[in-house]
Homo-oligomer: A and B are copies of this chain.
């Protein structure tokens, strides 16, 4: 090791590099200087080999959902993770899990290539990696569908509270004939947002019967809205479980000759580009996706380093008021 030209042994250099407290300041300084001078960078492989730590964490993104493209949610989460990790000594290994590569990912993770893993399952709540956490620190993004998967760390958005905020807003602005376009009931966000709806209407003693389910796509939102309108009862406000469906609802509302927000106010959920670029711009519940990535990384790092950590972290949403309600 060239840096031993600081007149000390390799062991001391190692101590300095790792910030050991028991090194005479003078010596430490000399070593530091030699390091700068020689532009020395410790070899990660050698270090990992002995310390059994890789200083790397994996981010697993299921390919099926890797609509990474159509879905800004993933992109933001990834961004948040990378942002947090940039402040640490960890490296981000992004891996897209495809059906075809089945065991590859598992072997990679179990092979000791990373110190921990992050898995974002988005809406599906599919936690096929659940058992993984028995052999490796793992943090999930989004709550599991079944509350049974216990003992796993996860960070989630408080979908129920978010939905409540949305519906409360509709009520506060004078709307009384409310309807909702719910998301798939086999996805956590779908069910949580719907329960937020029920809870709020119940709290206000309003009729909560106008419910139609969609699949989170714009087309399904339009269809659901048509069904709602076809019921023949007056509707002056609708809460869609995501922005894409809200945009679909726009179409159906206009087909019926109604205007937004005069005749019917609509509020969505997610705060994505669909709502932002719609006209009128959509009032929606902001989903803190970048924050979610950041928090997932944060929790995982604490976990890896053995610091006390909450099993579940729930992020708060906020209402973004624009022109549709």
Contacts and interface: CB of A to CB of B under 8 A. Distances in A.
A92 B91 contact: no
B48 A45 contact: yes
A61 B81 CA distance: 13
A112 B45 CA distance: 9
A290 B69 contact: yes
A273 B70 contact: yes
A43 B110 CA distance: 11
B72 A91 contact: no
Interface in A278-301: 278, 289-290
Interface string A27-56: 000000000000001111110110000101
Most buried by B among A75, A83, A96: A75
Contacts of A316: none
A94 interface: yes
B111 A42 contact: yes
B91 A113 contact: yes
Give the number of times this chain occurs in the complex, counting copies: 2
A128 interface: no
A185 interface: no
Contacts of A42: 111
A318 interface: no
A54 B93 CA distance: 13
A94 B95 contact: no
Q: Give the size range of A's interface with the partner.
A: 35 or more
A75 B69 contact: yes
A57 to B, nearest CB: 11
Interface of A: 41-46, 48-49, 54, 56, 59, 61, 63, 66, 68-70, 72, 74-76, 78-79, 82-83, 86, 91-96, 98, 101, 104, 107-108, 110-113, 218, 247, 273-274, 277-278, 289-290
Contact of A75 (B68, B247, B277): B68
A259 B56 CA distance: 55
A69 B80 CA distance: 10
Contacts of A46: 45, 49
Given A75-B74, A76-B68, A94 B94 contact: yes
A93 B92 contact: yes
23 contacts: A41-B107, A41-B110, A42-B111, A43-B49, A46-B49, A63-B83, A63-B86, A66-B79, A68-B75, A69-B289, A69-B290, A75-B75, A82-B95, A82-B96, A83-B96, A86-B95, A86-B96, A86-B101, A92-B95, A247-B277, A273-B273, A273-B274, A274-B277
Contacts of A49: 43, 45-46, 49
Contacts of A98: 83, 86
A189 B28 CA distance: 50
A110 B39 CA distance: 10
Nearest to A47: B45
A78 B94 contact: yes
A42 B93 CA distance: 18
A-B residue pairs, 7 tightest by C-beta:
A41-B111, A45-B48, A75-B75, A82-B96, A45-B49, A68-B79, A69-B76
